[in-house]
Chain A
Amino acid sequence: MKRGFREDFATQWRVVGALLIREIYTRFGREGLGFGWILLEPLIFAIPVLLVWSVVRNPYEHGVALMPFLWSGYLPILLFRHVGGRMLLFVRVNAGLLYHRQVTIFDIFLARCLLEVVSNLCAVVASFVLFFSIGWLDLPRDLPMFYLGYFYMIWWSAAVGLIVGGLSERTEWAEKLWSPYSYLYIFFSGFMTLAAWLPDTIRGWALLQPSFQAYEIIRGGMLGSAVKTYGDPAYTSWVLAVLTVIGLLLMRDSRKYVVAE
């Protein structure tokens, strides 16, 4: 049936909202902490890891304070891995929902992705408040720049989520390659290093990655003029836009690989 754009938009938001609530119930249950896990889950992951790193690493490597460096690096890692991981075979495991025509695979993607992003942002705020109050972190030097970097991180994670989700419905390779990739990602994403510390020959290659770009911008915002950063928002936006289009095409296509229950 034909409907207007406004009505379509309202329907879509209603569906995404309903999916979000359902996702929270199925993942966290309705008893015990329930919704509270949305915040606690990433914190339980992040805080011990950050503490261990801060003990084993030199507190002032390359003249940069370690804690701001680790904190601004590790939470985006969690975001990326969780968004990507939740998208594996996400159409298949939700095939029962596709019985209701107004639920599209894009709605399911949006709901899952939003939940991970909200959960991660809650953890960013909570861990910041915690570390700030004990004096381990200062406010980011350039807040808008920090936000911009984190925004690119979310966009990058969502774009990869679309691609991983779309590919996983058509080939088992996607699922098998995701685990080693998401692990190795820690080493080449830009979490461990600034572009300025790399030799000139490698720097150009490293900066081709959107994640490296986003890290540069986040670190520029976090550490201010204490470090030289190479983030290029124009390049990052272009690459992410292209990846998003590829991801959307793969996802649209994945509908026909799914056989309903």
Chain B
Amino acid sequence: MIEAISVTKEYRTEGRIHRAVSNVSFSLGRGEKLALIGRNGAGKSTLIRMLGGVELPTSGRIERTMSVSWPLALQGGFQGSLTGNDNMRFIARIYNKPFDDIKAYVEDFAELGRYLSEPVKIYSIGMRARFAFALSLAIDFDCYLIDEIIAAGDQRFHRRSHEELFEKRADRSLILASHMGEMIKSYCTRAVLMHHGRGSFFDDIDLALQVYNDL
């Protein structure tokens, strides 16, 4: 289970306090798929970074009783100047997984070919998405935190990601931040709607999307 308990995050910008996430609570069990819906700037990414432990909440806390991936996002998680292979080596080492297995899986899933020997900073957004997602699947977490990036991949990548998360690993949990209604519906069963840093929990994804569209 992963649980957010009254999580609040504040930043100091130009001398004023800006509350990016305000008193959000929810919990997610094994196999549950949760969407974080909200406009740009509503606090989705900040919440995901806190769930992943990249940033610490100003108040409140996050409880994790299953293994949780790092936030798979457009930034972070990799060293841009190192090649895909070297990034894989580093991540295999820190998560204590055999590099050869990881490499075989990523080569198959991400289909990056010779790009794995190129620095990650030259990857396109789609390539980066495939690389990050493949690597986190290879490490094998109980819960995946995905900030938009699945949307960056092509049709084939969507199909294969869906297959991985719903057929081969139906027992895994997912927290997906997105503002794309179709994708949310095909991946998630519950939602937290973020608006100005506040979150409301919905058991019904259609209702959540309807409220979001009426905002």
Chain A interface residues toward B at CB < 8 A: 1, 11, 14-15, 17-18, 21-22, 25-26, 30, 95-103, 255-256, 259-261
Those of B87-140 within 8 Å (CB) of chain A: 89-91, 93-96
Residues from chain A with Cβ under 8 Å of B49 in the complex: 260
Residues from chain A with Cβ under 8 Å of B27 in the complex: none
With A260-B49, A260-B54 in contact, is A96–B78 under 8 Å at CB?
A: yes
Partner of B86, one of A15, A22, A100, A103: A22
Interface CB pairs A-B, < 8 A, 5? A17-B93, A21-B93, A100-B91, A259-B55, A260-B49
In the complex, are the beta carbons of B81 and A26 less than 8 A apart?
yes
In the complex, are the beta carbons of B70 and A22 less than 8 A apart?
no
Closest to B83 in A: A30
In the complex, are the beta carbons of A15 and B79 less than 8 A apart?
no
In whole angstroms, what is the CA distance A11 to B96 when docked? 8
In whole angstroms, what is the CA distance A21 to B54 when docked? 22
In the complex, are the beta carbons of B56 and A256 less than 8 A apart?
yes
Residues from chain B with Cβ under 8 Å of A14 in the complex: 93-94, 96
In the complex, are the beta carbons of B54 and A102 less than 8 A apart?
no
In the complex, are the beta carbons of B86 and A99 less than 8 A apart?
no
In whole angstroms, what is the CA distance A21 to B53 when docked? 24
Residues from chain B with Cβ under 8 Å of A261 in the complex: 75-76
In whole angstroms, what is the CA distance A195 to B148 when docked? 63
In the complex, are the beta carbons of B77 and A1 less than 8 A apart?
no
In the complex, are the beta carbons of A18 and B90 less than 8 A apart?
yes
In the complex, are the beta carbons of B52 and A99 less than 8 A apart?
yes
In the complex, are the beta carbons of A18 and B93 less than 8 A apart?
yes
In whole angstroms, what is the CA distance A255 to B96 when docked? 25
Residues from chain B with Cβ under 8 Å of A96 in the complex: 75-80
- Least distance between B180 CB and chain A CB atoms (Å): 23
Residues from chain B with Cβ under 8 Å of A11 in the complex: 96
Taking residues whose C-beta sits less than 8 angstroms from the other chain, chain B's interface range is 20 to 34
- Least distance between A182 CB and chain B CB atoms (Å): 26
Chain B at the A interface: SS class: loop
In the complex, are the beta carbons of A101 and B56 less than 8 A apart?
no
Closest to B58 in A: A256
In whole angstroms, what is the CA distance A166 to B23 when docked? 30
Partner of A26, one of B82, B89, B94: B82
In the complex, are the beta carbons of B94 and A1 less than 8 A apart?
no
In whole angstroms, what is the CA distance A200 to B80 when docked? 55
In whole angstroms, what is the CA distance A260 to B147 when docked? 14
In whole angstroms, what is the CA distance A181 to B66 when docked? 48
Interface string of B61-84 (1 = CB under 8 A from A): 000110110110001111111100
Ranked nearest first, the 6 interchain pairs of A and B with the lowest CB-CB distance are A18-B93, A99-B77, A261-B75, A101-B53, A261-B76, A99-B70
In whole angstroms, what is the CA distance A18 to B96 when docked? 10
- Least distance between B173 CB and chain A CB atoms (Å): 15
With A22-B86, A25-B82, A26-B81 in contact, is A99–B94 under 8 Å at CB?
A: no
In the complex, are the beta carbons of A260 and B53 less than 8 A apart?
no
In the complex, are the beta carbons of B82 and A22 less than 8 A apart?
yes
Say whether B26 faces chain A, with CB atoms less than 8 Å apart. Answer: no
In the complex, are the beta carbons of B55 and A260 less than 8 A apart?
yes
With A14-B93, A99-B70, A99-B76 in contact, is A25–B55 under 8 Å at CB?
A: no
Residues from chain B with Cβ under 8 Å of A22 in the complex: 79, 82, 86, 90
In whole angstroms, what is the CA distance A107 to B137 when docked? 25
Residues from chain B with Cβ under 8 Å of A259 in the complex: 11, 55
- Least distance between A90 CB and chain B CB atoms (Å): 14
Those of B4-31 within 8 Å (CB) of chain A: 11
